[in-house]
A and B are shown apart, each in its own frame.
Chain A
Amino acid sequence: MPNMTLSHFEAAFLFALLVSVVMGIVTKSNDRDRLHYGIYTFACFMVALFGLGWLMYLGHG
Chain B
Amino acid sequence: MAVKEKEVKQPLPPLGTWAPALALSWLIPGGGHFLLKRTGRGVLLLLSITTMFICGLMMRGYMFQPQTGDLLTTLINTGGFVGDIASGILYLLTTWLGYNQQDMPGMGHDYGTKFLVTAGLLNILAMVDAFEIAAGRKN
Contacts and interface: CB of A to CB of B under 8 A. Distances in A.
Interface bracket on A: 10 to 19
A25 B127 CA distance: 12
Contacts of A14: 55
A19 interface: yes
Contact of A22 (B57, B111, B122): B122
B108 A25 contact: no
A25 B107 contact: no
B109 to A, nearest CB: 11
Contact of B115 (A3, A8, A15, A26): A15
Given A6-B108, A8-B107, A18-B52, A25 B44 contact: yes
Given A1-B99, A8-B107, A11-B111, A22 B58 contact: no
Contact of A19 (B55, B111, B122): B122
Interface string B32-62: 0000000001001100110110010111100
Interface in A14-50: 14-15, 18-19, 21-23, 25-26, 29-30
B100 to A, nearest CB: 11
Contacts of A2: 58
Interface of A: 1-6, 8, 11, 14-15, 18-19, 21-23, 25-26, 29-30
Interface of B: 41, 44-45, 48-49, 51-52, 55, 57-60, 99, 107-108, 111, 114-115, 118, 122, 125-126, 128-129, 138-139
